[in-house]
Every structure is written in structure tokens, then in C-alpha cells.
Amino acid sequence: MSARGPLNFPYITPIPSCAFYDSVCEIGDYMPNHKIDVSEILANLPLFRQLGQDDIALLVQGSREIRPQKGEFIFQKGDPSHGFYAVVHGQIKLAFPSVQGAEKVVAIIGPGQSFGEAMMFMEKSYPVFAQALTDSLLLHISKQALFTAIEHDNSFARKMLAGLSIRLHGLIHDVEAYSLRSGAQRLVGYLLQNENGQNGQMEFDLPASKQIIASRLNLTPETFSRILHQLTEAGLIQVDGRRITIPDIEALRQYDH
């Protein structure tokens, strides 16, 4: 869920994960042995943890690195699927194109998360497009490799079923939010979902620009800004750029307007 956590990939070279730095690096620059890294990266993805050494090896065979720059498209809506993607670092947005440049963000994918799995199991093409929000490093795992992995390890199939189920659950949550919650309620819900068991106070950065978050919540930037302002005036949050402070989580949860 939380796309804003720090990189938890210690096996990646310890160069700062900031997109600014990454943008000046080329494949092989600081990863002469990048094949080995791929194996480790794959093995530590939530989806592939608990997978055998040999299965990982098969997946590595079918995977390749992709290093999109900020703004670059990974695939367009309507493109056919040949596999799926795992984010090593960076940030990817999935969105619908709309008339005249407007678009609706469906998801913001961060490190350790993956996307595009569902489309592999259907004949249909991507219903959304994927675009890098920052310079990123992705792994593309081919449909072929994944299917043989499923064939090999049937506990892996259950893992994927669980993964898709979670995603499905998330979408149902979205549908509920869009259907019967106001903009302010959606925003409050979004802020609180970053809650990590802390009670009382809480502080964090928005994982992306306010425009992107707004779209994710199905709001215009203007409305988003106004709601943030209202919440601030009500003393429920404090905003400093992307930094959000919630002095009283419970109070914010009570908010109903």
C-alpha cells in the first residue's frame, strides 16, 4: 500500500535512490554484475518470496531491465501484454487517458510492488497506460517464464491468486469510495491509510505531487487544494508542501463532511 516507504533493497548499490542521481547512471555503470542483482531483486519481491532457487533462476531468464526516464511511457492503453512489471525503484503511475490531456490516475506503484499481472491471464490489452513519475528501474518478467514458474510450484499459483485478490479488494474499496463518499471523505481516508498503527500524532510526506494525488482521489487539483485548506482551518491537519502533519488521528477519523 504505502508507496512512500524508503527503499528496502539493500542489495542494490548504495547510491542514493533519488531520481535525480539515478538519471545520470547507465546500465552497467554501477552494476557490472547486474544479472546477479536481478536474481536477488526478484527473490525479495513480495510476490516471489518463498520461491525456490531454481524457480527464481527461471524467472531471471525471462526478465529484463527497463529504465524509463521521468515522463516516459512503459506501455500505452491498448497495448498487448507480454508479461508484467516489478518496480525496483522509482515510481510508476497507471492511468486512463482522457480527452485533451486530462487523465485519471488509477494507481501509484512504488518499489517492491508490481503491475500488469492481471492482463497476462486474459486475451485483452491494457485498459490503462503506465508512465514513469520519476526515473525508475523496472524488471519485466515474461509471461512465458511466469507460466512455467506456476507450472513448477503450485504454491506460487496460490501466491498470485492472493496477490490478485488483494488488488481486487483495493479496487472494490475504490469503487465504494467513489460511489458513496465525498471528496473530503476520500481525502481523509487516503491520509489515514498511511497510518502505521501509530496513535495520536502522525507525520509523513505525500508520495507524489498534489496533482497526482488529486487525480488518484478523483478530484481536480483545485478541489484538492481547497479541501486541504478546510482541513487545515479545522485544525485537523497541517500542511507544509508535501509534508502532512496530523495532530490527532482520531479527530481526523471522526471528520464527516
Partner DNA sequence: CGCCCGCTTGATCGTCATCAAGGGCGGTGG
Partner DNA sequence: CCACCGCCCTTGATGACGATCAAGCGGGCG
Q: Which of a second copy, DNA, none is residue 193 near (CB under 5 to 8 Å by kind)? A: none
Q: Which three cell numbers stand for residue 89?
A: 525503484
Compose the 75-114 pattern: x for residues touching a second copy by CB under 8 A, - for all others. Answer: ---------------------x-x---x-x-x--------
Pick the piece of the chain touching a second copy (CB under 8 A) from 18-26, 166-174, 190-198, 231-239: 166-174
Select from DNA, a second copy, none the partner in contact with residue 122, using the beta carbon and a kind-dependent cut-off of 5 to 8 Å: a second copy
124 touches, from DNA, a second copy, none (C-beta below 5 to 8 Å by class)? a second copy
Q: Which residues bind DNA (CB under 7 A)?
A: 102, 182-184, 209-211, 218-226, 228-229, 239, 242
Nearer to DNA, 82 or 226 (CB): 226
Q: Minimum Å distance from CB 250 to DNA?
A: 23
Q: Which residue has the cell 482520531?
A: 250
If binding is defined by CB under 8 A, does position 124 make contact with a second copy? yes
Residue appearing with cell numbers 492481471: 118
Q: Which of 118, 104, 109, 116 is CA-nearest to residue 137?
A: 109
- How far is the C-alpha of 207 from the C-alpha of 110, rounded, in Å? 9
Residue 1 binds to a second copy (criterion: CB under 8 A): no
**Of these partners, DNA, a second copy, none, which one is at the site of residue 221 (CB under 5 to 8 Å by kind)?**
DNA
CA separation for the pair 142, 86 (Å, rounded):
11
For 76, the 3-state DSSP assignment is coil
Cell of 189: 481516508
Spell out the residues 6+ positions from residue 147 whose beta carbon is closer than 8 angstroms to its own: none
Residue 171 contacts a second copy per CB under 8 A? yes
Name the residue nearer to a second copy (CB basis): 78 or 127.
Answer: 127
Question: Is 139:88 a contact under the CB 8 Å cutoff?
Answer: yes
Q: Does 218 bind a second copy (CB under 8 A)?
A: yes
Tell me whether strands 103-109 and 137-142 are parallel, antiparallel or unpaired: unpaired
Q: Does 162 bind a second copy (CB under 8 A)?
A: yes
The three three-digit cell numbers of residue 11, written as one number: 542489495
Q: Are 58 and 149 in contact (CB under 8 A)?
A: yes
Residue 224 neighbours by CB distance under 10 Å:
19
Q: Which residues bind a second copy (CB under 8 A)?
A: 96, 98, 102, 104, 106, 117-122, 124, 127-128, 147, 150-151, 154, 157-158, 160-162, 164-169, 171-176, 178-180, 218
